Amino acid sequence: MLHKLWAKVKKGMVLSTLICLMLMSFSGVVSANSDEMTSSGIQPLQSSSIDEQINKIYEKRGLVLAQKKEGYLEEYDRLGKELESLGVEFLSPSQVEEKMEIAKKSYNGFSPQVIIPANGKYTWSSIRNSWVKNGVTYEVQHLTAESNSNASILKGTQAKVIQSSINLQAASVNLVTSLIKEGATELGKPIDVTITIYDALKSFVNDANFGRTTIIPDITTNYTVSWYQNIDFMYVKKQGDSDNNQELTFMSSAVAGETTWVIPTFNYKVSGATKSVKNVVGSNTYNYYNTVAHRNGSMGVAAYLNPSAARNAYVTYAAIIGVGGKNIGLIPVATPASPVVMP
């Protein structure tokens, strides 16, 4: 009797231990809350819809710069005014310098003299929102760096020629695709941005026999890749405290861009005959890739409260890939340890 009772007690103890371990394992993860991913137990004080609108506009600004359609600068400015209407402030050089002075306090990297970045290289903007944890309210100020018309680490262009002289089936080989990662995790988009050779060429071929299984024995493609990044730096303090008590706690990034191509001439085979087509031109936007934690204020608060929490969520790898799986451009994505070290 006692033996059976002890067996039940032990079983209950094991079950209780397993439940405790499961609860502990979930205590520090990023979890879904309403429509927004938040660090566990940290909740937004304001409606998340405003933050979502702001994030979407930053995304549009990146794509506008990448695509460079007619009137893109006017559209970029118009989107900036939309941000202002939602509470975003575009900062003056002196305001940026104040944030850099705060960032210096937490920067431990080697630098004989930390230099404030030239404001002309970047467009700096800011917005504040509030988050609650265990009844305490924390204010997160987002300091966002975007590329502008000046050269900087947040944008660039690469060109490459890729030539293939093996038989390729038109729809089974990609002309261009992208591979974007945060660490080892591949970042995906709901819409596939991959373009096959067939997709790129079909509108240039006036031949009913040209199809998805058509063999292309020779193709040379001149590619140009452009990219634009934005980086978000989060400064956190308890609500009501002076900005002098802010701490730079979290950083994240996003990347957008466009690949264009020119195919001077390519050959394809139909019924044993080889035909040629000249001057194929096209482009593909590889969209706006950002990490799950990008601009997520709860991550800034989590890092403020826990020195062991994650401190950044950067896009760490971005490659644009052409015919034959060859890299067109390996984008040198920026992952600065602090805004004060951005050249």
What are the C-alpha distances in Å from 208 to residues 134, 203, 212, 285?
Answer: 68, 11, 11, 29
**Rounded to an integer, what is the distance from CA 191 to the centroid of its chain?**
15
What's the confidence (pLDDT) of residue 160? 95
Q: Name the token pair of 13.
A: 């103890």
C-alpha 343/C-alpha 337 separation (Å) is 12
| Confidence category of residue 108, pLDDT binned at 50, 70, 90 | low
What's the confidence (pLDDT) of residue 188? 72
Q: pLDDT averaged over the chain?
A: 83
Angle at which helices 72-85 and 48-67 pack, to 10 degrees? 170
Q: Which residue has the higher pLDDT, 46 or 315?
A: 315
Strand partners, 43: 132
pLDDT digits (tens, 9 = 90+) for 6-42: 444 344 433 333 323 322 232 333 333 333 456 678 9
pLDDT digits (tens, 9 = 90+) for 55-83: 999 989 988 888 888 999 999 999 999 99
Mean pLDDT in residue range 87-99: 90
pLDDT digits (tens, 9 = 90+) for 245-304: 999 999 999 998 889 999 999 999 988 899 999 999 998 887 778 888 999 999 999 999
> Is residue 210 scored above 50 in pLDDT?
yes
| Confidence category of residue 141, pLDDT binned at 50, 70, 90 | very high
**Which DSSP letter does residue 190 get?**
S
Is the Cβ–Cβ distance between 138 and 237 less than 8 Å? yes
What are the C-alpha distances in Å from 181 to residues 37, 243, 255, 314, 317?
Answer: 19, 34, 11, 9, 5
| Confidence category of residue 192, pLDDT binned at 50, 70, 90 | low
| Confidence category of residue 148, pLDDT binned at 50, 70, 90 | confident
Mean pLDDT in residue range 234-246: 94
C-alpha 173/C-alpha 93 separation (Å) is 49
What are the C-alpha distances in Å from 224 to residues 22, 153, 163, 169, 329?
Answer: 49, 18, 14, 24, 8
SS3 of 7-56: HHHHHHHHHHHHHHHHHHHHCCCEEEECCEEEECCCEECCCHHHHHHHHH
What's the confidence (pLDDT) of residue 154? 94
* Three-state SS at 136: strand
- Residue written as tokens 């400015």? 77
> Is residue 229 scored above 60 in pLDDT?
yes
When mean pLDDT is compared across 22-26, 82-86, 316-320, 339-343, the lowest value belongs to 22-26
| Confidence category of residue 187, pLDDT binned at 50, 70, 90 | confident
C-alpha 300/C-alpha 312 separation (Å) is 9
